[in-house]
A and B are shown apart, each in its own frame.
Chain A
């Protein structure tokens, strides 16, 4: 595609909205014009598909040390993906970038003071985050993440966790990979169950292996922290009159319940807790009337304390970003 037609195509896309909506506000229209042709433009950022963005370089220099160095260095400086060719017909210097017009267009809405605009697909949104990360745009990255966090439904949720874990790994987005991996903790991590849920089609062996190791590490942390909570902390001593207490004065049934969470984080669930309590109060060998009268406030306090321990444990575990190979990358292309 030549430069003019690509620009025209993108302009059309911008003016008609990425998602195909034809009705855009005047504010949005002005924003998009600013991105393509800023009134104080003194540099052109050219995408890999030859879309030109005439921008004021002060915004770019302020946002990205990588691009700042590139723009301010002599024209013979070139990185692996970036080159600075001679000035074009407009006489503005041109910076050739390796990113697509669509991603650059979205990125610039977080750089220039206009209405922020996320790409229409999740894949492109992750590419956008990755691009901001590549150019070390820390503030812009935070802005994009804030914007992503406001999406409804959330971008990273139970249904999308595996796909977005793989995408985040592909783009080297540690924060998103961690977020997505945490959501997979609710899924039993066995080949059998993942296969049945159709999750194995999404991941390469390397990504799957790292996810499995992550689950193992979470269990190890949970096991250690929950043992401390059940045996040493005061949070689990919710009823001293229970028919069966541990040596730490924690009801035995509660101790067992806490202990079971390390083996299966899915059991960290209020209804599972209630089931354990009900089984105890009505169970064998003796019915425990005392535990039936534990106040809801005591239970709420216990649950808050337990949640803190579980959350702290999980947040302490970090994923390793997997180095992708051609074979891994093939997972995402089809």
Chain B
């Protein structure tokens, strides 16, 4: 063989090797840092064909589903690569990557985006990884929440589709902070299934009804906490001050459009109260309202906030109305 032959053969070998390298997906960025793949006895392959070399024992400890799977004999026609059995999973590489960081003793990576964290949570629920679910939930509770209307409705869609019950409930509550319009939901609407959409509408409607009843009962001057306000000189003696009436009545009126506007948040009522009171006192020099505020304003605000929160908490996004706190039905109206 001539030197030219050797060179040609070497070039061909190099070209083949380069082609071979090009055809393999670059998985290095997806493999968790610090993951020890020595002595791996299984390849988990993601839906986008990324292989993860893992240990059955570690997976078995984290998931009874995997434990049961590995207790079964390997099928005769099973796939092997590098002498290791291959298990093909329905999840994408990024989710599996995050999941492995939670299973192995390496720094865990929980996605910063709420949607992706929900995907990870759903996978851990699918494989019955109880401890990992708790860790993800704790992280989500403390550090993550959808910020925009579209992200919130999307989170509801994902959570409901994947059967993540607490997250469905939580996301449904968060949607109340935004209008439920086609514009605000955008593409996220297409992620909400039929039943989930009906549940969300029912939930919003019942929250609206409860808030309306609550606000109406707060306007009853014979009952606390509003009774402390009868006596303002700008109104007749048995009626509450107009500025306070305007706040509560305004919100009742807004509740006629529960979808085109966000629902009243209990936490926002205090700021409105203070603004309106300040304006009233400045304009009318009303000593009664000023004094009442100093003496009992804080208690009044706290009670109103509490009542409004209670009105919302009584409604569940997941249960039909007739199961909801039947003892409270006398106080609040369900439409």
Q: Do A and B come from one complex?
A: yes
Interface residues in chain A, defined as those with a beta carbon under 8 Å from any beta carbon in chain B:
189-192, 195, 200-201, 203-206, 208-210, 212, 322, 325-332
Give the interface size class of chain B: 20 to 34
A204 and B193 contact, Cβ closer than 8 Å, known pairs A190-B260, A191-B181, A191-B259: yes
**Contact assessment for B195 and A206 in the assembled complex, using a CB-CB cutoff below 8 Å:** no
CB <8 Å contact, B260 and A203: no
Q: Tell whether A327 pairs with B198 under 8 Å between CB atoms, given A189-B182, A191-B181.
A: no
Is residue B187 contacting chain A, with contact meaning CB distance below 8 A?
yes
A330-B187 contact in complex given A191-B181, A192-B257, C-beta closer than 8 Å: no
A205 x B201 contact (CB < 8 A): no
Tell me the minimal C-beta distance from A211 to chain B in angstroms: 9
**Cβ-Cβ contact count across A and B, 8 Å cutoff:** 72
- Is B196 touching A205 in the complex (CB atoms < 8 A)? yes
Whether B194 and A328, one on each chain, are in contact in the complex, defined by CB atoms closer than 8 angstroms, is: yes
A328 to B72, CA, bound (A): 36
Q: Is the CB of A332 within 8 A of B182?
A: no
* Docked-complex contact A203 and B197, CB < 8 angstroms: yes
Q: Which chain B residues lie closer than 8 Å to A325 at the CB level?
A: 161, 193
> Please, how many angstroms separate the alpha-carbon atoms of A205 and B257 in the complex?
20
Which residues in B have their C-beta under 8 angstroms from that of A208?
189, 197
In whole angstroms, what is the CA distance A183 to B180 when docked? 24
Interface class of chain B by DSSP: helix
- Known: A200-B201, A205-B189. Contact between A191 and B194, CB under 8 A? no
Q: Assess whether A205 is in contact with B192, with CB atoms less than 8 Å apart.
A: yes
**CB-CB under 8 A for A327 and B195, given A190-B259, A191-B181:** yes
Q: How far is the CB of A114 from chain B (nearest CB, A)?
A: 38
Q: Which chain B residues lie closer than 8 Å to A326 at the CB level?
A: 193
Closest chain B CB from A333 CB (angstroms): 9
Give chain B interface residues in 221-274, CB to chain A under 8 Å. 257-260
Q: Kindly list chain B residues whose C-beta atoms are within 8 Å of the C-beta of A189.
A: 182
> 10 tightest CB-CB pairs across the interface, nearest first?
A327-B193, A331-B194, A205-B192, A204-B194, A209-B190, A209-B189, A191-B259, A206-B190, A192-B259, A212-B182
The residue on A at minimum CB distance from B260 is A192
Most buried by B among A189, A191, A201: A191
- B132 at interface, CB cutoff 8 A: no
- Complexed CA–CA distance, A209 and B192 (Å): 10
Q: Known A-B contacts: A212-B189, A329-B194. Give 15 more (CB < 8 A).
A: A190-B182, A191-B260, A192-B260, A204-B192, A205-B194, A206-B192, A208-B189, A209-B187, A325-B161, A325-B193, A326-B193, A327-B195, A327-B196, A331-B193, A332-B194
CA distance A204 to B160 in the complex (A): 13
CB distance from B86 to the nearest CB of A (A): 26
- State the CA gap A217–B190 with chains docked (Å): 17
Interchain CA distance A329-B193 in the complex, whole Å = 8
**A212 nearest in chain B by CB position:** B182
Measured between C-beta atoms, what is the minimum distance from B190 to chain A in Å? Answer: 4
CA distance A160 to B189 in the complex (A): 23
CB-based nearest B residue for A333: B194
The answer to whether B180 touches A191, judged by C-beta atoms less than 8 angstroms apart, is yes
- Complex Cα distance, B197 from A192, in Å, reads 14
B residues apposed to A, CB below 8 Å: 157, 160-161, 180-182, 185, 187, 189-198, 201, 205, 257-260
Question: In the complex, what distance in Å separates the CA atom of A331 from the CA atom of B193?
Answer: 8
Q: Which chain B residue lies CB-closest to A192?
A: B259
Residues of chain A within 8 A of B157, CB atoms compared: 205
Question: Within the complex, what minimum Cβ distance (angstroms) separates A194 from chain B?
Answer: 9
A205 x B260 contact (CB < 8 A)? no
Cβ–Cβ contact B195 & A205, under 8 A:
no
Q: Bound complex: CA of A332 vs CA of B193, how far in Å?
A: 11
A205 x B181 contact (CB < 8 A): no
A-B contact pairs, 24 of them (CB 8 A): A189-B182, A190-B181, A190-B259, A191-B259, A191-B260, A192-B258, A195-B259, A200-B198, A203-B194, A204-B197, A205-B157, A205-B189, A205-B191, A205-B192, A205-B193, A206-B191, A208-B189, A212-B189, A327-B194, A327-B196, A328-B194, A329-B194, A331-B194, A331-B195
Q: How far is the CA of A334 from the CA of B174 in the complex (A)?
A: 27
A320 to chain B, nearest CB (A): 11
CB pair A205 B198 closer than 8 Å: no
Q: How far is the CB of B335 from chain A (nearest CB, A)?
A: 12
Among B182, B198, B260, max chain A CB count under 10 A is at B182
Which chain B residues lie closer than 8 Å to A191 at the CB level?
A: 180-182, 201, 259-260
With A209-B187, A209-B189, A209-B190 known as contacts, the answer to whether A195 contacts B201 (CB < 8 A) is: yes
Complexed CA–CA distance, A206 and B195 (Å): 12
* A residues in contact with B190, CB < 8 Å: 205-206, 209-210, 322
Most buried by A among B192, B194, B197: B194
C-alpha gap A327/B189 in the complex (Å):
13
- Looking across the interface, which residue of chain B has its beta carbon closest to that of A334? B195
Q: Please measure, in the bound complex, the distance between the C-alpha atom of A210 and the C-alpha atom of B189, giving whole angstroms.
A: 9
Measured in the bound complex, the distance between the Cα atoms of B259 and A190 in whole Å is 9
Centre residue among A189, A210, A327, A332 by max chain B CB count within 10 A: A327
Contact residues in A for B185 (Cβ distance below 8 Å): 209
